[in-house]
Amino acid sequence: MKRAHRITTFGLTEEQNEIVRANIPMKDYEVFDTDAPTDVIAYACVAMIIQASAMDEKSINMIFDLYMDVDG
């Protein structure tokens, strides 16, 4: 079944992802756990949960640069 809404996580443990899954607001949500920093911005989502210490500086700058370009 295709989910209508996605929550993307990066750098969370499986236990932490299970906590997110157990607390999603509706059945049409999915948790998309990724270990690729580019996936954080490549896939549409309604929320992102990022463990910043799990990401290298280049990846953090990539995300900030994108949102600065989008939002200014």
Q: Which helix (H) or strand (E) holds 7?
A: strand 5-10
Q: Say what the pLDDT of residue 70 is.
A: 83
Query: For residue range 6-62, what is the model confidence (pLDDT) as tens digits?
Result: 999 999 999 999 999 999 877 789 999 999 999 988 888 999 999 989 999 999 999
In Å, what is the CA distance from 17 to each residue of 2, 38, 48, 67? 19, 19, 12, 25
Overall pTM surpassing 0.85 (yes/no): no
Q: Which residue in the block uniquely carries the two structure tokens 């990539």?
A: 62
